[in-house]
Chain A
Amino acid sequence: MKKLRQLYKQLQAKGLSEEQRRVIEHEMALAEFTGAPHQAHRMRPSMPLTRSLYSYADAEILSQAMASPLMSMVAAQSLDHLLQRDLQREKDGFPRKIRVGKLVKPGRDGDDKVVVIPTTVEEKLIHDKINEEEEEGEGGEGQEQGEGGSGEGEEGEVIGEQPVREEQAGGGSGPGQGKGGAHELESTVYDLGRVLTEQFALPNLRDKGKKRSLTRYAYDLTDKNRGFGQILDKKATLKQVIQTNIALGKIQAGSLPDAQSLMVTPKDRVFRILSKELDYEAQAVVFFVRDYSGSMAGKPTEIVVNQHVLIYAWLTYQYQNQVETRFILHDTEAREVENFQHYYQMQVAGGTQVSSAYQLVNKIVKEEELDRDYSIYIFHGTDGDDWDTYGEESLPELEKMLGYASRIGVTIAENGLDGSRRTEVEKYLTKSGLLESKKDLLRLDVMSKDSNEARLIEGIKYLIS
């Protein structure tokens, strides 16, 4: 908090517009109200504490034996088929209906899995709750009817409580966690990437030249060896025999050699043998950078993170799983988090300084010398607020990034706090002229907070094309 106030004072000294001051103060107040970072967003349907009346059913209630978990048995082609059908819908003039849903299965020891499934809703006219909380966050008592309950307790007595934020899952992975788990995640993300590329016509990546890989080897019969080996290389052996015989004078220029009299030494036989080869596949590292300040709460975060999942899936497909991901969150300071779950869920109520994140990316790239071996992608999601109004600190860092990155995509999901004015990030990016001069490296996509999945995919197309 102290740091924030200091920063605020510095900014004030530089001079702030009225609007700016208001935004900053709003965020400061939020920061005071909520404090430390916490996990606010969950990538699963929010499970109500109690079950609905209609969720009870005989089959589950009456049979003791819990059904054994059945794994996916509908072949992937049926998924393809469904998506094909969806494409046809669009041609027939109706909006698409299948969404590629993502569910996170919370696991023990934090090894959550992402399951990618197609979902759809059947729309009907139904009653809705009067939702007052939507944007106001956690404010006051709910107006709803409440739940049923039974047992002891006076009126007004508290019978239980539930933390507003769940405890952060313990870091590191627990023992006994097989490789299978992680693989499962990757394979479904890979599938999603395939689906996105094929069905939503996301472009394929242009090959930017093979990069040298240091860690992967392929084994192939490429080396030649004389005398012994796995497969006789007949052509090379013949050459060798002829050379030897020329040296011996058995073959003279101008006369036909006598095949019967040629000498063959054991050394003449050339074999191919299995050998370790460096793999020259291209590989990529992707930085996902997200603003997690107070103003991002709710929809903007949802949009940014959903878009980042899709981008991640697409890159995973494009690079045949050879993608490394780094997750960076920032408010006025930036930090790296270890996995997607934390990236998705973390929420803090602080100020906003984009430059901090860019600095961290540059630092990581420099220290780990990533630019030597990898294609580097950076995707930044923000609501467009920046206390550094004119990008004085961000722009130099951004230019540094443009020096090594294959693509930088900035997504601005407007939080709608200040009406329709253009956001700071958008303003200073436009003003800097980088969007024009580095058109093939830097892309900016601005969307409103009510954007749907189709809009997200549009955005991705633009960011990566």
Chain B
Amino acid sequence: MELISQHAKRIMEGCKDRARQAGLRFEDETLEYVVTNRDMLELGPKVMIPTLYDYWVQEVEILREQGRYELYPSNPYETVINTRPPISYYNDNNPDWLNVMIFYHVIGHIDFFQNNLFFRHTWDYDFTGRALADKRLIAKLRSEHGRWVDYVIEFARTIDNLVGYFDILEESGKKSKKEQPSLLDYYFDVFLQHGARSAVSSYSREIERYNKLLREHPEDGELRFLKRITEKYSELESLYARSLKETKPVGRTDLLEFLMEYSPFLKTEKNRWMLMVLEVIRSTSLYFQPQIRTKILNEGWASYWHDTLFLQDDRIKGHEVDYAIVNAKVTSMPRVGLNPYALGMRLFQYLENKAEKGRTGLEYFMTQDREQRKNYDEATGKGREYIYHIRENYCDSMYINAFIDQDFVDQHKLFVVGKRLNKERMSWEYYVKSRKAEAYKAMVADSLYHPPRIEVTVAENNALVLNHIFEGKPLLKDFIQGVLLGVEYLWGEEVHLYTSVPIPMKASRDIDGQLREETPKRTIQWKRFRYTMKDRTLSRTLVE
């Protein structure tokens, strides 16, 4: 691994200038390295962070990766990592024009890392530095505790997708700690809406009354209002007081943090070092959380910018065709499949165009006439501004759910592909299942990363209770044993996991020699089960 040549670095700096002029914002410093394939193989399992802590599974991954590599040559790795300064990796044999394209793409990513709010918690420190410190810490612990460090890493990693990423985001966005709701808030937010009198008209009447009092008595309008309502509803104040006591945080969802705080096992003097390991795993995981939640947005944004900036770049005249070939491979919509580069970029271009013509407002929305819609153009010139706003405030699921509409689906001829068996030809047929925006949106949304939500509590006998919130999908059964084994170790007592399991209901009996395959579609019934891990053995019981 070595730095790129001065020549290439000059090209990079030129790209940065042009990108800044176009409105991208990012820090000055960046690091570019040339890597060999061998470097890539070793970086891959370390998720491209060269200073990540060592762990034996990474070695197996390397071995396995090589096996895979032999079979299906591809190297699915990222090029840019979100550090301070950002580090990007390159092949050493790229021609200049290709480097220009890749540099723009990389700059797009860097801009995204440094501006998208979902990355906020990664802005304050350099992850490579932190990872290096963690690596040394773990090396030191390993010299003291030997293989047990690896067990703890392993068990912590089994639950490292259950970290409170959104809690962290919420915290870093807020100025002060959570405040208790005032009586007034309680009246409007809870009392009026959940009580017996929850008509919209009475609600708005109350608001009007409140506003009127404020207008007429700027000094003590609020007090007068409160006095009035407490007189009117004598039970209000006692309800409010009770609600304050009840306002407990809902079940905690950050299992790693929960274990660190409450685990009796980890609290004992001889196990305290494990807390450090858990913290390393947790912070590493939190660091990567935004990355996977912004895949479409991030790749789309980078592709949008390399596409926009490359063709304007005067330094690459004469390589337009070469570029077109590479770019087509990157950003063409596959006939079947989902390419995040292509989808994200097209959606950005679509939205820019839409905002440019003022088609984001109510007026356009209310326009029913097809012709009028087609020619609707207010020439607002706000396209760029709009997509900058999206780049700053959205993640994949918001992006997909908010912006994929029928116009977009029609414009790019998108559809959902279905698969069915043709029994005569004995083949799987792929067919156009739906061209509706709703279906397409649902399909994309379904393929997005979504870890299960697990709420953590402690039962009376000191057992740890994990409650999997049902979202229409079961947990992967094969993994439950391994995970609970680790959690039991870290908790020190038995562990329960509540989850829903689909039980297929036989539609009809198949006693009379009938083929099972012929039976009509089976229906599914969801049943709640409890998995119990005690003394390293797993058992399952039906709870409903």
Contact = CB atoms under 8 A, between A and B. Distances in A.
B473 interface: yes
Given A147-B337, A150-B334, A140 B419 contact: no
A115 B473 contact: no
A125 B38 contact: no
11 contacts: A47-B72, A53-B296, A56-B339, A74-B62, A127-B450, A146-B416, A146-B433, A148-B415, A149-B336, A149-B414, A163-B426
Interface stretch (B10-18, B262-270, B375-383, B475-483): B475-483
Contacts of A55: 76
Contacts of A33: 515, 517
A155 B71 contact: no
Given A53-B447, A126-B451, A162-B427, A59 B147 contact: no
Interface of A: 22, 25-26, 29-30, 33, 44, 47, 49-74, 78-79, 82, 85, 88, 92-95, 97-98, 101, 103, 105, 115, 117-130, 132, 136-165
Interface in B411-435: 412-422, 425-435
Given A115-B70, A158-B429, A150 B79 contact: no
B468 interface: yes
Contact of B429 (A59, A98, A101, A161): A161
Contact of A146 (B417, B428, B485, B515): B417
Given A124-B161, A150-B415, A132 B504 contact: yes
- Give the dominant DSSP class at B's interface: mixed
Q: Which of A73, A93, A159 has its CB near the most chain B CB atoms (within 10 A)?
A: A159
Contacts of A160: 335-336, 429-430
Contacts of A92: 147, 151
Contact of B427 (A143, A159, A163): A163
A153 B335 CA distance: 11
A127 B473 contact: yes
Interface in B491-513: 502, 504, 511, 513
Interface stretch (B205-213, B231-239, B325-333): B325-333
Contact of B161 (A126, A147, A156, A163): A126
A237 to B, nearest CB: 57
B69 A70 contact: yes
A148 B443 contact: yes
Contact of A85 (B70, B147, B442, B474): B147
Contacts of B72: 47
B336 A54 contact: no
CB-CB nearest 4 A-B residue pairs: A123-B482, A117-B67, A58-B79, A50-B337
Contact of B337 (A67, A126, A148, A165): A148
Interface stretch (B86-94, B135-143, B216-224, B309-317): B86-94
A124 B341 CA distance: 28
B440 interface: yes
Given A154-B432, A155-B433, A159-B432, 16 more contacts: A49-B336, A62-B101, A78-B63, A123-B481, A123-B482, A124-B158, A125-B483, A128-B476, A130-B524, A132-B524, A137-B517, A147-B443, A148-B417, A149-B415, A153-B415, A159-B417
B479 A126 contact: yes
Interface stretch (B52-60, B164-172, B366-374): B52-60
Interface of B: 37-38, 40-41, 56-57, 59-60, 62-64, 66-80, 89-91, 93-94, 98, 101-102, 105-106, 109, 147, 151, 154, 157-162, 292, 295-296, 299, 302, 326, 329-330, 333-341, 343, 412-422, 425-435, 440, 442-444, 446-452, 454, 468, 471, 473-483, 485, 502, 504, 511, 513, 515-517, 520-522, 524, 536
B69 A69 contact: yes
B427 A161 contact: yes
A210 B421 CA distance: 56
B450 A147 contact: no
Contact of A161 (B41, B417, B428, B524): B428
Contacts of A155: 415, 432-435
Nearest to A138: B421
A293 to B, nearest CB: 15
A51 B77 contact: no
B475 A126 contact: yes
B44 to A, nearest CB: 9
A439 B113 CA distance: 68
Contacts of A144: 419
B421 A145 contact: no
B372 to A, nearest CB: 27
A129 B524 CA distance: 13
